[in-house]
A and B are shown apart, each in its own frame.
Chain A
């Protein structure tokens, strides 16, 4: 919303504060501050299991889904290869870094292997995007799914670099300043930091020329070309930006599990990311994190719940599938859409009640 302040050359302190609030509407909501504080003090309330299995995992999946939200929500491009890009980054961390598979891993220190993985995965996602932007709508979905499926089968069969179907195991994680960054509490803060960085980056870019133009491309590509924009170049750049975010998520994921195998980049896992983004809502960056939280909670606890009802615990996907159906059916904008509608409905009810007194 900094566009708004542009007209008036306000420099006074209150005006600056107002401008910041316009740019970051979240800062004005108590609920947001509450969530931020809870996330920050989480290690003092949650045990290691909750911290890593629930919250860190949510933040990692949310970050990967955020990259899809950016492409789909602002660019109108549904890419099913975002998890593949993340998985590619994870594999590159394993290949360039240190692991038990000494015949594969090059043994670089983490501070060299990680940037290398990010660069290569971003390049991979950009190339995939350059292929995908030649198509529209359902064909974009098909081509990105094809890239994801091809990568999955490739990792399964390639032993020289990807370690075949057993993958790469016991991958080294960063240790410096005397801290093991993979131990629960430091790792939680690393994921929180990365996820927050990605969230604010997407939020910020959405109002910068690059993001605004991307929304223009989504709404009317032909008119964007008639305004002087190279529409395809813009779309490819969006894939590059999204690939970097997905790659960050992939690096976190491989540090989390300390191993990577084809199962992590399967077609099913690619589709999980789509489900997470859609269930949460793809119109705003917070959606994917909400979706990821719901997904992780269901995946973790649906098992016990189902067993309690005498059903097979492995059917937790059935619950996710039903939830997905219900949300797509009732709200095309995911959980945040439901929430907003409920808020609007409550506000309207308030108004009616207030007006009712006057007339009654």
Chain B
């Protein structure tokens, strides 16, 4: 699939997310080396790989948490390589974190409200929202979508782990997302919660594409149409889920290691 990248970049705006030759160094350590990935709008892709394969660093480069050392990143045709994170988010990029990054002192509702406010105007508004504030309605709808209505007044610090993971997803769905990066959303979830997560992911509107990092193959392969396999900071293989699953090299590298 590597050779497909130039063809996609030729049409530029055709790709939702396009990374070309992205390298990220931490001192002498190369966390990512020459990563080239192209994802279509609405495409749902899994990124697999063992610990240290560079999956989360890839996310951090795309969202701008750590900018790449070299290479370019385009989002719906626009070069966002040097944009600060908030500019990328305002353009419809979203992410969730592997370890929940919430606001523990605030309520569920305030957390979601902040996410809605972050991608709309009035971030600096000194006026409290009124009873018919459109963002309040959006907030309520999102809370309902991730099944947290019953705990919406509670402080996030008091929530169970599974609920925090659901809130993590709600924050990424605020506003009008065009592309979402999910970093191990199923980590630490019970089987029931996993099923709910799969429901949430598969019921997302078709135009919203995403990349999901997930160790649980049952979850990952059920919610994606393509797979990128990473190893030691490089793209190791790309293909359809069943191809990757059947690939002997992949099995040796990743699935085999996982069954040790």
Interfacial residues, chain A to chain B (CB-CB below 8 A): 2-11, 19, 23, 204-205, 207-213, 215-216, 219-220, 222-231, 234, 237, 241
**Which residues of A are found within 8 Å of B131, using beta-carbon distances?**
2, 5-6, 8-11, 19
Question: Does more than half of chain A's interface fall in helix, strand or loop, or is it mixed?
Answer: helix
Whether the Cβ atoms of B106 and A210 lie closer than 8 Å is: no
Q: How far does the alpha carbon of A229 sit from the alpha carbon of B103 in the complex, in Å?
A: 14
**Which residues of B are found within 8 Å of A3, using beta-carbon distances?**
107, 109-110, 113, 128-129, 136
B80 within 8 A of A: no
Q: What total of chain B residues lie within 8 Å of the partner, measured CB to CB? A: 46
B31 within 8 A of A: no
**Which residues of B are found within 8 Å of A207, using beta-carbon distances?**
128
**Which residues of A are found within 8 Å of B175, using beta-carbon distances?**
228
Partner of B105, one of A7, A215, A241: A215
Which residue of chain B is the closest to A9 with respect to CB atoms?
Answer: B131
Which residue of chain A is the closest to B181 with respect to CB atoms?
Answer: A226
**Do A225 and B129 contact each other (CB < 8 Å), given the known contacts A3-B110, A209-B122, A209-B123?**
no
B248 within 8 A of A: no
**Do A225 and B136 contact each other (CB < 8 Å), given the known contacts A208-B127, A215-B105, A215-B106?**
no
Q: How far does the alpha carbon of A234 sit from the alpha carbon of B122 in the complex, in Å?
A: 12
Q: How far does the alpha carbon of A303 sit from the alpha carbon of B171 in the complex, in Å?
A: 56
Q: How far does the alpha carbon of A225 sit from the alpha carbon of B161 in the complex, in Å?
A: 23
Pairs of residues from A and B, 10 with the lowest C-beta to C-beta distance, nearest first: A6-B136, A228-B118, A227-B118, A228-B89, A225-B85, A223-B101, A2-B128, A228-B119, A209-B125, A219-B103
Which residue of chain B is the closest to A238 with respect to CB atoms?
Answer: B124
Whether the Cβ atoms of B109 and A225 lie closer than 8 Å is: no
Q: How far does the alpha carbon of A324 sit from the alpha carbon of B131 in the complex, in Å?
A: 43
Partner of B171, one of A23, A209, A227, A230: A227
Q: How far does the alpha carbon of A215 sit from the alpha carbon of B114 in the complex, in Å?
A: 10
**Which residues of B are found within 8 Å of A211, using beta-carbon distances?**
126
Whether the Cβ atoms of A216 and B84 lie closer than 8 Å is: no
Kindly provide the distance from the CB of A214 to the nearest chain B CB, expressed in whole angstroms.
Answer: 10
Kindly provide the distance from the CB of B135 to the nearest chain A CB, expressed in whole angstroms.
Answer: 9
Chain B 171-201 interface mask (CB, 8 Å, partner A; 1/0): 1001100000000000000000000000000
26 contacts between A and B (CB under 8 A): A2-B130, A3-B110, A3-B113, A6-B131, A6-B136, A7-B140, A9-B132, A204-B126, A205-B126, A208-B127, A208-B129, A209-B128, A213-B123, A215-B103, A216-B106, A220-B103, A222-B65, A224-B114, A225-B85, A226-B95, A227-B86, A227-B171, A228-B175, A229-B114, A229-B123, A230-B86
